[in-house]
Amino acid sequence: MFYGEYQHSIDRKGRLIMPSKFREAAKAHFIEKFFITRGLDKCLFMFSEEEWRSQESKLKNISFTKQQARTFNRLYFSGAIEVIPDRQGRIIIQQYLKDYADIKKDVVVVGVSNRIEIWAKTIWQEFYQNSSATFEEIAQNLLDESVSGKAVE
């Protein structure tokens, strides 16, 4: 549903404009509300409400007796905020989330199918540079494992 890579900036009032393609996709799927939280690799994850509820359901089924599950859920859910884009598609990202992702002004908004990722431009560039060289190798390993039925890590 959400695809592509878009460069944007946080405006003077601390707002981020969602890419027009994402606004169109949200409108086509009747999505009005999103949830943003701490993601992995120093980015922010942004989910539609429906996808957020699906993720929440999966994560709350992890046993709270496991220390790693408690830690992950605490950081993941305590970071979550509900956002509703305004008429121009702008959202406000809380300062503690911007601090987590080292977002100052320039960002890259990335569509990853069922979620949107929001990256500080410099961190995205570093991630992309470090990962793009092994893209084919990663694809081969993941796709071979998923076809053969082996667990994908």
In-domain check, residue 140: no
- Spell out the long-range contacts of 91-100 with Cβ–Cβ below 8 A and sequence spacing 24 or more: 91/15, 91/16, 91/18, 91/34, 91/36, 92/13, 92/14, 92/15, 92/16, 93/10, 93/14, 93/16, 93/36, 93/44, 93/118, 95/14, 97/36, 97/37, 97/38, 97/44, 98/10, 100/38, 100/42, 100/44
pLDDT confidence of residue 60: 85
Does the structure show a pLDDT above 70 at 148? no
- CA dist 23 and 85 (Å) reads 9
CATH code: domain of residue 83: 3.40.1550.20
Is residue 151 in a domain? no
Any domain includes 82:
yes
Taking Cα atoms as reference points, which of 108, 121, 140, 110 lies closest to residue 7? 108
Domain housing 73: 2-120
Residue 12 maps to a domain: yes
| Number of domains making up the chain | 1
Domain-embedded: residue 130: no
User: Is it the case that residue 132 has pLDDT exceeding 90?
Assistant: no
133 in a domain, yes or no?
A: no
pLDDT confidence band for 151 (50 / 70 / 90)? low
Residue 63 binned pLDDT confidence (cut-offs 50, 70, 90):
confident
pLDDT in tens, 17-49: 999 999 999 999 999 999 999 999 999 999 999
At 8, give phi and psi (nearest 5°).
-140, 175
Mean pLDDT lowest for which of 26-30, 62-66, 82-86, 103-107? Answer: 62-66
- The pLDDT value given to residue 30: 96
Query: Taking 80 as the threshold, does the pLDDT of residue 6 lie above it?
Result: yes
Task: Indicate whether 114 belongs to any domain.
Answer: yes
Q: Tell me, yes or no, whether 147 lies in a domain.
A: no
